[in-house]
Structure 1
Amino acid sequence: MTTTELRLWTVDEYHRMIEADILTTEDRVELLEGQIIQMSPQQPPHAATTQRTFNYLNHLLVGIAFLRMQLPITLYPNSEPEPDIAVVRIKSREYIDGHPTADDIFLLIEVADRTLNSDRTSKARIYAQARIAEYWIVDVNARQIYVLREPGEETYQQEIILDGNAKLSLLAFPEIEVEVSQMFL
């Protein structure tokens, strides 16, 4: 029996496939750990919670950080995910020359309705290995937030689950108080 090895792609190869129109916006894919993965379609609760969370945090962080919604971030050497929300450094050219990288990122947020398991495992591993200091998973179904901090070799060393009555602050901006209830409809 012949075994076939999986061919993993780098960020640079992925970008060349996009530039050559091998991959287009119609493909709805992201690069995760060298694999080109089909993105899940969004149900209305996911889309509405993403928009509400984005609007709320954007209001709190205006002039302090940029918020990007469902746009790529580049995590060398082999991941270019599209988190639901990325809180990133303000740059005068607004990332026209390249997507934000790990050094630009304060916080990543994934909104989960059907993807909670993969967001807690594979996405957490990718973000922790890239040394993203803070990662939140907004669980639409349970109306709670997983707050992951202290990135380690394989995943985050700290995970706190907060319900809708909780308040928290971002590691990067401890003076900003976030009310979990404001992220849910």
Structure 2
Amino acid sequence: MTAQDVLQSPHRYRLRVADYLALAKSGAFEGMQTELIAGDVIVMSPEFRPHWYAKSELGYQLRKSLELSGSRLFSGDEGSVALSDNDMPRPDIIVTDEPRGDGPIPLASVRLLVEVSSSTSATDKGLKAELYAGHEIPEYWVADVDDRTIHQMWSPIDGSYAEQREIAFGDAITAATIAGLTVATATL
């Protein structure tokens, strides 16, 4: 069988992380913010002030709380996380115990992921929650700037989070899986 035989009928071709990285290195995505979800390259929307401000402030508050608690965890923004052969998302905020090194952030090092959303709220609370729970990310937050709520999820079991709660912007949020991590959200 030749490649021509395979390519004749319409198919969806899922990229592997290795393919995605090769394309990125060749400049295929130059000038675009992208991530790989289930083998599909997702081009991310431009970031406007409400999203940017919430992401920046929440990231700052997370980092400050980790430092004050004496934690060795690191909070950074927009790193690529290697989840599987076909998934390398780029969450808005990542809390990891392995911030240094080459390549994407290793799955085993991730303690908390945060997506800040406005236009992507349904995807972040649906597809991405399933993706992160399916890869056993211990805790996941969706900071929805439109409804001014943080959707906190933890205890991943069989592709979903068994525990969830909502925290209004303005109230403090305490991590369920990271001791001593409490974040003020009054400024969001």
Q: Normalised by the size of structure 2, how large is the TM-score?
A: 0.86
C-alpha distance in 1 between matches for 2:126 and 2:24? 27
Identify the residue that residue 11 of structure 1 maps to in structure 2. Answer: 17
Identify the residue that residue 22 of structure 1 maps to in structure 2. Answer: 28
For residue 3 of structure 1, report the CA deviation from its aligned partner. 5.6
C-alpha distance in 1 between matches for 2:159 and 2:177? 22
For residue 165 of structure 1, report the CA deviation from its aligned partner. 4.9
For residue 181 of structure 1, report the CA deviation from its aligned partner. 2.6
SS at match of 1:81: coil
For residue 143 of structure 1, report the CA deviation from its aligned partner. 1.5
Q: Normalised by the size of structure 1, how large is the TM-score?
A: 0.87
For residue 23 of structure 1, report the CA deviation from its aligned partner. 2.9
C-alpha distance in 1 between matches for 2:145 and 2:65? 21
For residue 168 of structure 1, report the CA deviation from its aligned partner. 3.3
For residue 158 of structure 1, report the CA deviation from its aligned partner. 2.1
Structure 2 segments unaligned to the other structure (5+ residues): 1-7
Matched, 1:148 2:153: yes
Matched, 1:35 2:40: yes
Matched, 1:88 2:96: yes
1:107-126 correspondence runs (5 A) = 107-126=112-131
For residue 9 of structure 1, report the CA deviation from its aligned partner. 0.7
Q: Is the 8 A contact 1:144 1:180 kept in 2?
A: no
Identity of aligned residues (%): 25
C-alpha distance in 2 between matches for 1:31 and 1:90? 21
C-alpha distance in 1 between matches for 2:184 and 2:26? 44
Identify the residue that residue 181 of structure 1 maps to in structure 2. Answer: 186
Count of residues in Structure 1 that have an aligned counterpart in Structure 2 = 178
Identify the residue that residue 172 of structure 2 maps to in structure 1. Answer: 167
C-alpha distance in 1 between matches for 2:52 and 2:183? 20
C-alpha distance in 1 between matches for 2:94 and 2:171? 21
SS at match of 2:129: helix
For residue 82 of structure 1, report the CA deviation from its aligned partner. 0.9
CA displacement 1:111-164 (0-9 Å, x = unmatched) = 111111010111111111111010000111222110011213332222211123
Identify the residue that residue 76 of structure 2 maps to in structure 1. Answer: 68
Q: Is the 8 A contact 2:61 2:184 kept in 1?
A: no
For residue 74 of structure 1, report the CA deviation from its aligned partner. 1.2
C-alpha distance in 1 between matches for 2:148 and 2:110? 25
Work out which of the two has the higher radius of gyration on C-alpha atoms and give 1 or 2. Answer: 2
For residue 43 of structure 1, report the CA deviation from its aligned partner. 1.7
C-alpha distance in 2 between matches for 1:125 and 1:101? 19
For residue 175 of structure 1, report the CA deviation from its aligned partner. 2.1
